[in-house]
Every structure is written in structure tokens, then in C-alpha cells.
Structure 1
Amino acid sequence: MAGHFKAMQPGRTFPKRSQFSGFMKPCRFEGEIQHLEVRGEIPQEIDGTFYRVMPDPQLPPFIENDPWFNGDGNISAFRIKDGDCHFKQRYVRTEKFERERDAKRALIGKYRNKFTDAVEFKVRSTANTNVLYFNGQLLACKEDSPPYSVHPETLETIRLEDFGGLLPCLTFTAHPKLDGNELVGFGYEAKGDGTPDVCYFSIDTTGKFTQTVWIVAPVVAMIHDFAITENWVLFPIIPQTCDLDRMKLGGEHWQWDPNIPFYLGVLPRRGASGSQVKWFQAPNAFPGHTINAYENDSGNIVFDLPLTDKNVFFWWPDAEGNAPNPEQIAAKLVRFTFDPHSDDLHLPEHEIIGNEDCEFPRVDERFAGKRHMHAFFDLMDPSLGTDFGTIMPRMGGGHPPYNSLGHLDYHSRTIHKYFPGPTHLVQEPIFVPRKGPATVEGDGWVIALVNNYATMASELHIVDTRDFGKPQAIIDLPIRLRAGLHGNWVDAQELQLST
């Protein structure tokens, strides 16, 4: 091990730090709970499974001040059918998880820094960032490594997924996009830590890689999410930069750089070579999770996302140690409209389409890459009556607080809000479309896990998009699930369960 840092000793309890306390105390639950209690009525039409994954360390960390999202991936499955809901939860059996369970102590060091580990790992993944369904299996993703494939019914880990040895790169995004029967993805630092290489690819339902394109980024920095249109792929770079020499000295993988622009890579989606990528620029900013992108009637790209001029990952400051106070960080919903064929690589100034602090946006996935007129996301609106006096002592730290769900209707530019209660904060929403012969965008239900700080337990709220101000149903869990990252809905008709 290199560098200087404080490591935990075997057998210790979790550190007395905010990211391991209150609602953020590790859950460490595996098992099933049948027939969850329901307040209200779950619509009979809803038939499928909501999968989500949370970082949930099984053991006290090797590094005392470990960030909250460096825990082991623990997948939750909410199976909803006939107005009933069953719950199942299981850890992904990564190499890290299995070896630490055998050793009865943590072995992995700092976030994405192999030089601080107690032992050498082949794959350091925690599989804790996203879980999605493709080709009959769940893919548990973390962007520093290939995904793990997981059985969608039992949640048993199948293998580290290299797609039959065809995966061309060492990393795999936590936010692949599904477009019909095609999975579109990429890896950054694709040839290893500190490399500028980005590998873009698409995979069909036979597991065949239908295209692979290698490009070189202008900086070695984080590309957490991306967007696709019918003809283009967009890579927004977060100005958290990597330096291999810093890592070898025991430093952090990421360091905020306020002196570089916000880069947006634009690549033709099909039949491209790496030389065709264009790196558009805008003033230094932190791009959040993408909402969606599409091409308008003029052939310009329209790209929506939350954006802030502050470093959201404030625990990784700049080279001088500067970082914003968490209370100062707020992302506005913005829109970039630009010509992908332009030789002027300066992005036009963005349009602000939502002034309130928002993140974790979703669209009706049937319209991904196409013109969208609805978006759903987490919001923080202090005027709604949140009881911060009750929440704050019990909240725990690290994760951003949002007290409501937002539904943006682009027709009217109106944001409708769902406020779950004064002692509640929300996690990422997902959208479930209403069934029927007509495909009406945004008509259905929004489902989100909600933290109740009065009961210190979790709730699953179902909200009808036709009546967004109140819940259709609230499903009570008798346990507490700490903050998760991402998840997805899989309709029962899509869910081809293995026998």
C-alpha cells in the first residue's frame, strides 16, 4: 500500500461518521418479505418488478472516511402484481464481497484506488450503481469494471459479465441505454486507470457487439452518464479528473478541476470512426444525470439535463482543497440546443427550463432518444413544509436531500409536485406506463422509494401521473433501506424468468 491514510482495523464497528449513521447506517439485510402492507390501492394494471440497487457495506470500511456510495451492491426487487407487493433483497457476490466475507474484514481501500488496497484484486467492482434488465438477466453495473449478471427472480449472482469474452474494454458505464432490442453503452478509462480512452459500443439480443468505436477524451475525467438520439451519441464530461501519479501516492482517484471547460463529446451513433468525435465546450460546470436528447426538425440536437456550476462531489475538492458547502449546491434543469455539424465547438448558452434544485431525472423510456414532452425527477422545495428539525438529526450524511417528486410537462413548462410528507425525503423515481393500445407519453405511474425519518423505515410510493398531487398507494416496509443510486422497472411481459 502507498500513501498516508487512516485504515480501519479488523473487528471494529462502523466509523462514527455521518455517512454511516442515522438513515445511512448500513442495512445489511438479505431475505424476503411477502405481502407488504399497503395503504391505498395498488392499481391492478401494474404488473412487473421494480429493481434498485444501493451501496450497502457488509463490513466496516478499510478507509474510515469512505464515501457513502462505495459500499457493496445490494439489490432490492419489488414484485407487484394483482394489487400485492413482495420484496426480496440480495447482495451481488462480487470478488470484493466474497473475499471480504471470507476474511471477515474489509480489504479494498480508497474509492477507485487499487494502490490503497490490502490485497490485490482482479476486479474491484462493488456492482452498486445501477441494475437493468437485458437479454433475460439483470446487469448490476458500476462504471469502473464490467457488470455482474444476476438472476432476475432469485437475485443470485451468475458471473462477472464479459459477454462471452467479447467486451472490448475494461470498464462499462453504469447508465447503458436500451433502444428497442439494442443496448448502447460505453466505458471510459477504458484501457485502465488514468487512460483517456473511451470505448463506445452496442450489443444486440444475441450478445453480439454490433459496433465498437474507440475515441480519446480531451481530459481523463469522469463520464458518469450519457445520452443518445437517433443519429448521435453524447458524452458529457464531469470536471473530476484522474491522475495516476496522485493515486500511486495514496491520493484520491478524482480531483475537481475548475480550470477546464465542460466538455460534451458528440459522435455519430452508427458507422463512425473515433476521429469523427467532436468535443464541444461550455463554461466549467458539473453535468448531472441526463434527462434525454433528440434531434429537432432542423437537425439540431436538443439535450436536457440538470447542471450546476458547483462541485457536486464536494468530498473530492480541487488541488487547493477548495470545495463548496453542500448547502450551496443546486442544479437547475437546462437545455442545450446546437448543430452537431458545426465547426464552432463552443456550445450556445443553455436555456433554463427549471429553476428549482433537481436531480435523478427520468423520462418515459419508450421515448428515449426521441422528442420528449414529460420528465420526472427529484426536487428540493423548502417551501413545501418539510420538518427539517426531525429529519436532520436522523438523516446521516453524503447523499443529497430531495423532499418531493417533480413532473415537468413541457407543453406548459409547468412542474407538478408530489410532496410525500413533512418527515420524508425521496429517492430516484421510475416511470411505469399505463397499458393499452395507445402509446401516450408520460401516462402512467411514478414509483419511488421514500425515507420516513419519523418511523426510520422505508416506504414505496406510487403516484398516478393524472393526479400527481397525492399517492395512489403507499407500500410500507418494516425495514430501512439506505439511500440507493439507480434502478429500473421491468414489465412482467418483458421479464423472461429462467426456470
Structure 2
Amino acid sequence: MASCATTPNTNSWAPFSAYSIDLGFSTPLKSLPLMKKKKKLNQKVKSAALHTPSVLHFPKKPLKPTMIPQEDSKKPIKTNPQWNLLQRVAAIAFDMAEGALISRERQQPLPKTSDPRVQIAGNFAPVPEHPVQHVLPVNGSIPECINGVYLRNGANPLFEPVAGHHFFDGDGMVHAVTIDNGKASYACRFTETQRFLQEKELGKPVFPKAIGELHGHNGVGRLLLFVARGLFGLINNKQGTGVANAGLVYFNNRLLAMSEDDLPYQVRITPSGDLETVGRYNFDEQLNSTMIAHPKIDPVSKELYALSYDVVQKPYLKYFRFFPDGKKSPDVEIPLTVPTMMHDFAITENFVVIPDQQVVFKLQEMISGGSPVIYDKNKKSRFGILAKNASDSNNIIWIESPDTFCFHLWNAWEEPESDEVVVIGSCMTPPDSIFNECDESLESVLSEIRLNLKTGKSTRRPILSETDQVNLEAGMVNRNRLGRKTQFAYLAIAEPWPKVSGFGKVDLSTGDVKKYIYGNGKYGGEPFFLPNDAADCKNEDDGFIIAFVHDEKTWESELQIVNAVNLELEASIKLPSRVPYGFHGTFVDSKELVNQA
């Protein structure tokens, strides 16, 4: 996503050589000569490219590159020993077909939104796993009230892309900083999804990338290959295809990693501060559909609210909730005429607020050579207001909000005196600019949207003044006041897009914004607000902002802890590994960990 002109060679790719499928004959039969050895960079560093030449080029830098052990290139990648002759022949045929697809794709220029040289350049590039490391250097003093684990999810592709790749396509990796009485430790681990485990075992990517690869006729071809490999038993495509790289939530004593294309995955925090994947989590067989990566926990009832959307068949959208003990409510089908991207939603004290916006899925567009993610200008954006405890959607209230696309909603609340529901979100234009290449520059405007339940009308206004306007994306309000009126929001300053140069503390009523900038050449991600839960803390902004920050000059990363009241740096924790720019995080208090499942 950033320019790769100054990118050190610290990317980490799984070892991968040309495929060698053993058919049971005396000599292994190579299916495709998919990779040639790269020149060594003073060390045995190996690429996971499926094809040569690589689509990525990393200039040499006087920095120590990530070490990846060199495998014996003569050793064939192991295949499933239970494959029969037919399956092995089919595997060869499918690999050949995939090679032809790759060659065809490389004859055409990639748009920036699916060009890996753009999407995962610089500090968007992946890193290897890092086992827990204790007693990290700390500058300043970690506040005594902070004890627990800060975790942040992100996309970290195991294999080097062979063609199209979007930043959102990468395998999920969770970075964790444990703080215990002023001391800190760090670890990062892949979330071992079914997709990840199968591809790691096969030594190559076989699951299609939802955004980077599923375009046009080549996308149709990749889908057909995926289905065919499943039919021949070469892969198991019945246990989910998600990457669990977007959201994190701690609910009912479980840490869940999520992406909206699958069920959540449970990740366990070990006593030492390391991470281990427990597995795909269906809430004790209660959940049999996907769940979006932004569920909401009501701070009073402790219930978890969520949505599930389907891009293929009706119902295109379902709403459900979980009680604090983990019991699930029945699904409520929400009537939509077309499958619609539903990345986020909001809750109030009594309602869920569901955005039905203009970014939709039209899989048939792939047949005509286009993208299945479409900005439908003829569709009118609207918000659905539904009672939290609704058993059906009969009483949902739809209110139109023209030309509104909020990728994220930060909060919502009720104002009974005016019969309004107030929604706070970042309105993005062009709506599909994250997914499809656009000539127009992306803008993300923090906005207040008022939905009048009595008149059915809406209004929308920018919260910041025109002179203060900056792109604000990724952030939160005080989670102890979610669904209730809040004064402040803490949001990433996404400039220069898509990097994050700091965060803003925004007064939602006045539009006043106070900025905290990470420093020259330093960039971060989502600012996580951790409230100070001490009994004598009454103010909404009494707490701390926690964020990973990366120095692009020294190629080092740190965790910064900032006082949310005065925006003064309290402490910075030097990390032993580079932390790529990522997505969303959470904090698990040490008291909560005592009862972790």
C-alpha cells in the first residue's frame, strides 16, 4: 500500500520450491517448474513465490533481513500420503491450470488495489512468528492501573503473492503485548485457520483471495479450481475459508479472532504471554454461519450483538445476539434485495443500527471481466433501526441517508426528546475506493447522522470544520459507554493515506480536535482507548490510548501508551520484532484472564 522505493528486505515468506508430486513411480513427476532460486542476500533467505520472476522487488538496505531457513531444494514438498493415483494426476492437472492462469494474469497490469507491490510494500509487508520475549525495554513509566494483554489483529500472508493480492487478503496474525506490574513481554502468532493449516501443509496457496484474485475471467477460473480441488478431495473446503485477520473480541472468557467470511477462531493467551489457536469456534454448535468482525458488547447487559451476511444466497443478512453465558438467540433475517457489504454496525441502549449501503456484491460481474464488489450508484443508502430483542424484522424502521457509505460506525445513541437516533461514523468517498481503483482521492469524513424515527427523515453533517478536516479512520469511543451518548472519539489520522501519522481526540459535540502525532517518519494504526476503571475515575476520557508505532527510518517498532486526557506520552515499549500496520485490537485485563476458557 505504501511505495516500495525505500523498503528494506525484511519480508517473511514461507519456504516454497517447485512442486514435486510423487505418483508412486520410481521418479517423482514435477507438476510445474514454478520457482527458480533467488540470489542469496548474504544469508539463506527463501521466497515463497509460485512463479518467476517475483512480483515483489525489495531494494537492499543496510539492515539485517529476516532469516528464513533454507530447505533442501531437492526435497519434494510432501503431499497427502492417502492420495490415490487419480487424485495425484488431478493435482498435476490443477497445478498446470493454475500456472496458466498466473501466466495470463501477468500479461495484464494490476490495479493498485490488487498489486502486491503496492498493497504489501514497506511496513505492510509480513513478518515471521515471534515467540514470547520478556522484560522488554521501557521508556517512561507504564501506568500502574494497566495490567493485562493488548492484542491487535492484522493481515500477514504466509506465502508471497504470485499475482493479485489485496492487503485484506493476508493470513491473520495476532500481536500481543503483556503488561504485568510495569514489565512487558511480546509475542506474535498466526491464527491457524483451516485455510492456513491446509496451505501450510501443501506448501502453497490453494484458497482464492477474495479481493485480490476474484476479478474477471481469471477469478472465475480460480473459483472453479478451488471447487475442483475440493471435489477431488485434495483440500477440505467445507470447514471455512476465512483468514481471521480483522477483529478481536473477548467474550464469555474466550478471545476470538474474526473476519467476516467465516466463523470466529478461538485464540488462547498462555500464562507466559504466548498465543495458541484453539480452533474454529461455533459457540457450542449454535453458530452455523459467518459472523462479521465487528460484534458489539453492550457495557451494561454484557450481551454480544452480531451480524452475518451472505454474498450468494438469501437471506443475505442475519442478526443475532449472545447472552453473557454464551447462549445464542434465534437468527433474525433482515430483508435485503441484493447481497450487501456489511462490515460494521452500531448499537444503542435499545436498538441495533444496520447500514444498508451502496457497496454490493454482484458475482455475475466477474463473467464480464469486472470486479464482484460494486459501487451501485442507483441504490439509496439507508439505515435499519431494529429492537435489540426483536424475534423478527417485521418492525424494523428503514430511514434513507443518500450517498452515505460508512465503512466503520464508532457509536450511536438515542435522543428521545427529538425522536432521533444519532450515529457517528466515518463517511468514505468514493465508497468502493478500498476495493476498486479510482481516479478520485479517497476521503474519510467523520460525520454525525441523525435518523428521525417519527418522520423517517435523516440529516448528515461533518463533525470537523472545513479547516480542520483530515481523514479519520479506525478508532473507537470509551467502550464502557458504547451505545450511549459520548463526548469523545479517538480516531486514526489516516494521512498520508493509507498510513496513520497519529490520532485525533475529537469532541463530538463541538468538533474540536486535538492531535497526537507519532513523529517524523513514524506511523501507527488503530488507537485503542483503555478506560481507567479505578473507582474514583468519573470522566469519560480518563484512560489511555494504546497503539503500535513503527519508525520507518530505523525500521523498529514500539508500543506507545498515551494519556488520553492531556495526550502526553506515558511510556513506550521497544518491541523485538517489526509490527506491520494492521487492523483492530482489544485489551484483556489480567482479572479476566483468570477465568479464560
TM over 0.5: yes
Kindly indicate whether the alpha-carbon contact (under 8 Å) linking 2:312 and 2:339 is maintained by their aligned counterparts in 1.
no
Q: Do the aligned partners of residues 275 and 117 (structure 1) sit closer, same or farther apart at CA in structure 2, a change above 3 Å counting?
A: farther
C-alpha deviation, 1:340, in angstroms: 2.4
2:525 matched residue in structure 1: 427
Structure 1, unaligned runs of 5 or more = 1-6, 318-322, 383-398
| Partners of 2:267 and 2:577 in 1: CA distance | 23
| 8 A contact 2:178–2:184 mirrored in 1 | yes
Structure-2 residue corresponding to 1:474: 572
CA distance 1:24–1:163, shift in 2 (3 Å):
same
User: Secondary structure of 2:569's partner?
Assistant: coil
Alignment of structure 1 residues 237-276 onto 2, 5 Å: 237-247=356-366, 252-276=371-395
Counterparts in 2 of 1:333 and 1:411: CA distance versus 1, 3 Å: closer
What letter corresponds to residue 142 of structure 2 in structure 1? I
Change (3 A) 1:143 1:437: same
The Cα shift of 1:148 comes to 0.9
Partner SS state of residue 100, structure 1: helix
Whole-angstrom distance in 2 between the partners of 1:266 and 1:370: 16
- The residue matched to 1:97 in structure 2 has which SS? helix
Structure with larger Rg: 2
More strand by percentage: 1
1:129 partnered with 2:246:
yes
Q: Which residue type is aligned with residue 279 of structure 2?
A: R
C-alpha displacement of 1:278: 2.8
Tell me the CA shift for residue 89 of structure 1. Answer: 1.2
1:102 and 1:78 map into 2 onto residues whose CA distance is 29
Equivalent position SS for 1:440: coil
Secondary structure of the corresponding residue to residue 88 of structure 1: strand
Contact between 2:411 and 2:423, CA under 8 Å: does it hold in 1?
yes
- Matched residue of 2:200: which SS? helix
**From 434, 447, 451, the counterpart of 1:334:** 447
Once residues 199 and 20 of structure 1 are traced to their aligned partners in structure 2, the CA distance between those partners, rounded to angstroms, is 33
2:482 to 368, 386, 408: 368
Q: Give yes or no for contact 2:130–2:577 (8 Å, CA) kept in 1.
A: no
When residues 8 and 333 of structure 1 are mapped into structure 2, their CA distance, relative to the original with a 3 A threshold, is farther
SS at structure 2 position matched to 1:407: strand
Match of 2:158 in 1: 58
TM-score (norm 2): 0.73
2:269 to 137, 140, 152: 152
Change (3 A) 1:174 1:125: same
1:43 Cα shift?
1.2
Q: Distance in 1 between matches of 2:174 and 2:367?
A: 32
Q: Measured at CA, do residues 110 and 195 of structure 1 come closer, stay the same or move farther in structure 2, by a change above 3 Å?
A: farther
- CA 487–209 in structure 1, closer or farther in 2 if over 3 Å, else same: same
Distance 2:33 2:186 in 1: 33
Do structure 1's residue 20 and structure 2's residue 20 form an aligned pair?
A: no
Instruction: From the superposition, tell whether residues 59 and 375 of structure 1 become closer, same or farther in structure 2 (CA, over 3 Å).
Output: same
Does residue 413 of the first structure (1) align with residue 511 of the second (2)?
yes
> What amino acid sits opposite 2:507 in the alignment?
D
- Other structure's SS at 1:216 match: coil
Task: Give the Cα separation in 2 of the matches to 1:364 and 1:338.
Answer: 22
Q: Is 1:185 paired with 2:225?
A: no
CA change 1:46–1:228 in 2 (3 A) is: same
From 420, 426, 437, the counterpart of 1:306: 426
Is it true that 1:232 corresponds to 2:351 in the alignment? yes
Pairwise mapping of residues 353-392 of structure 1 onto structure 2 (< 5 A)?
A: 353=464, 355-380=469-494
Describe the superposition over 1:200-240 as per-residue Cα deviations: whole angstroms up to 9, x where unpaired.
11111322113531111243210101000011111123422
* Structure 2 contact 356–382 (Cα < 8 Å) conserved: yes
Secondary structure of 1:209's counterpart equals coil
Deviation at residue 314 of structure 1 after TM alignment:
4.1
8 Å CA contact 1:51–1:132 kept in 2: the answer is no
CA drift at 1:421: 0.4
Which of 109, 122, 134 is equivalent to 1:34?
Answer: 134
TM-superposition CA deviations, 1:254-291 (whole Å, max 9, x none): 12223322222221222342222233222223213111
**SS of 1:163's equivalent?**
coil
**Is contact 2:464–2:512 with CA below 8 Å preserved after alignment?**
no
- Separation in 1 of the partners of 2:261 and 2:454? 32
Distance in 1 between residues matched to 2:458 and 2:34, nearest whole Å: 50
Q: Structure 1 residues 130-139 or 147-156, which shifts more?
A: 147-156
* Matches for 1:49-128 after TM superposition, within 5 Å: 49-61=149-161, 64-111=163-210, 115=223, 118=226, 119-120=229-230, 121-122=237-238, 123-128=240-245
User: Which one is further off, 293-302 or 48-57?
Assistant: 293-302
Structure 1 length normalisation: TM-score? 0.86
Q: Report the AA paired with residue 183 of structure 2.
A: D
Instruction: Name the counterpart of 1:387.
Output: none
Aligned-pair identity in percent equals 28
The answer to whether the 8 Å contact 1:235/1:265 transfers is yes
Residue aligned with 1:288, SS: strand
Task: Find the aligned partners of 1:31 and 1:324 in 2 and give their Cα distance.
Answer: 43
Q: Choose 476-485 or 226-235, whichever is displaced more.
A: 476-485
Deviations 1:283-311 (A, max 9, x none): 22321311100011414101111113313
Counterpart of 2:500, as a letter, is Y
Whole-angstrom distance in 2 between the partners of 1:266 and 1:231: 10
Question: Residues of 2 paired with 1:103 and 1:374: CA distance?
Answer: 48
Give the Cα separation in 2 of the matches to 1:238 and 1:36.
Answer: 45
Distance in 1 between residues matched to 2:256 and 2:369, nearest whole Å:
31
Q: Matched residues in 2 for 1:416 and 1:283: separation? A: 30
Once the two structures are TM-superposed, the CA of residue 475 in structure 1 deviates from its matched residue by 1.3
Change (3 A) 1:283 1:271: closer
CA apart distance, 1:39:
1.4
Distance 1:256 1:290, change over 3 A: same
Contact 1:44 1:81 in 2 (8 A): no
**Alignment partners' CA distance in 1, 2:495 and 2:363:** 40
Displacement after TM superposition at 1:59 (Å): 1.1
| Larger relative contact order, structure 1 or 2 (CA cutoff 8 Å, min sep 6) | 1
Letter in 1 for 2:588: V
1:350 to 455, 461, 469: 461
- Corresponding residue of 1:283: 402
Deviations 1:48-100 (A, max 9, x none): 111111110111235x1210111110111111121111111111111110110
* Aligned partners of 2:445 and 2:470 also within 8 Å: yes
- SS for the counterpart of 1:140 is strand
Summarize deviations over 1:85-119 as a string: whole Å, max 9, x none. 11111111111101101111111123165725543
